[in-house]
Structure 1
């Protein structure tokens, strides 16, 4: 299951605790990330630095408005260059698509085609990037696991074998701490299977959209983009993938810091953006859990 929209203090501590596990499964051939100072007019240069690529994975922090602005800029730039093959979304379920729509389709038509979940994903945040692709004549595809499949996925123990052992343990720990240690231990494996199944669903959608000479762009949370734990684990080894973490706040660049080690293992590039106001999501989650108690 996805973590809360922005990393809680517990989540940040979890990442630090998981460093040994991440390093065990990190591929030595993954290049060190390129750190860029934030500036909106550098998006084209940042994007050029990722090319050529079959797939560019943009991993956002869901409550960072600047990240959604970057989505639109990357999509518009690749479209203008004639390189954009498709846009895949975590924010819409697999099987939904704008492929049958015309480039002058209305916002309402696009929302209907994607069966947009307004409660989970504010259209005002993601609509501009989606509409930029539609207006360019580029299909936008839902990639997320359909809600109807959740129950069966939770019981599917075969999904446990879809990640290397250390990565599976790391993913389980992220689920545990991402829910502020409030989940019963019996729910950790089922919830981890949902996360893995979501990554597999997104990867399958991407693979079906890849075309020679074009680039597919994924818009998703940074956990899905993580090379060690997420979507890249389920793509064909021959796929040219570039994973980008959009990071709200300062990024440590010293080569011996834990942050730098994590980024080297998980992402090809880190694009820092201004920090967003902090929010105690664990407090909010605790209140929701208490409200469910009999």
Structure 2
């Protein structure tokens, strides 16, 4: 696989509270924020964003780290991960609560809703950004949060990135507005563990809908970063997805697209 030029996306800059970041947009319809996994907006992440666009949504894909469109090689990916772990925007390790960048992401969701209209906004976070979609629930426009292979905090596999106060506020919002959170992981993933899913379930109750895929459902030949650095089945809808009929990862992708459709296009047929 080669780098992806992202030529079919519009490159914008969104600024909030003196923080400016590039956002790649494409499509029409209600907005969905697609947050890349480590080490950045890879061709597989862009492929997922195109699926979201093709399902009838306006994708907003923020550039949070890494080289946009780059094929995820091992050495470069390690360097991106090390820089992100040291950045003040992210809290890769336990004890600090939600990453500060989530404030900017909530503002992006609000702006996307103003631009795209509809009843609200969807959001999916993956790996390093997985829990960001949960923090974004505190923005009233976010109606469809998806957590894929949440990896933070890196130093405590039984913890979640949100602190107790945020988790309570999220649960209150989910219950008040009758919302749910979809989440995905592979059974043997050492970055997103069964203990972490149990912590989410304890904090959010039946508002948390967790899906666990068998390890053998993962693409056996992912890009070098995922083969050599991650080293386990991990990326449910990107690097480890097998795009074939009957595959659990494709079914997970379709469930996510249906979730966005039900929440963001209520009363509209799936083909509409």
What TM-score bracket applies, with the shorter chain setting the length? 0.3 to 0.5
Greater helix fraction, Structure 1 or Structure 2: 1
Q: Structure 1-normalised TM-score? A: 0.33
Larger radius of gyration: 1
Q: Which has the higher contact order (CA 8 A, sep 6+)?
A: 1
TM-score w.r.t. length of structure 2: 0.35
